[in-house]
Amino acid sequence: MLAIKFIILVLCVLVGYTLGFIFTETRYRLAKYRLFQFQAFECRKCLSTHITWVLTTLASCIFSDLLMFIVGLFFATMLFIGLYIDEKRRTIHLDI
């Protein structure tokens, strides 16, 4: 049962990562609508993290498992840190 819960958490992270990319970087960008024009929907790392923690919290509530909740929040935090590092490495700083 522990392995199934872990797989569910990993799938939640993958869904959050994918939807964060789709809704911020593609033509399906949510920020083009006036309702979604604020930081949480314009920033890929923010949207991915929010989707991930909401999905992992929902999954942990379904299974009534506190450890799953804590691990899910840890995964969401690690996703944020990973996307933050990726963003910093891809940013080109111009010295003028």
Question: 38-49: per-residue pLDDT in tens?
Answer: 888 889 999 999
* Domain-located, residue 15: yes
Residue 26 DSSP class: S
* Domain-located, residue 3: no
* Domain-located, residue 47: yes
Domain that holds residue 48: 8-90
pLDDT surpassing 80 at residue 29: yes
Mean of the per-residue pLDDT values of the chain: 92
pLDDT at 65: 94
What digits encode the pLDDT tens for the residues 71-86? Answer: 999 999 999 999 999 9
Nearest to 16 by CA among 43, 66, 53: 53
* Domain-located, residue 96: no
* Domain-located, residue 56: yes
Nearest to 55 by CA among 76, 82, 24, 31: 76
Nearest to 51 by CA among 27, 80, 29: 80
* Domain-located, residue 50: yes
* Domain-located, residue 16: yes
- Region 65-76: mean pLDDT is 96
pTM for this predicted structure: 0.87
As for how many domains the chain has, the answer is: 1
**What length is written for the chain?**
96
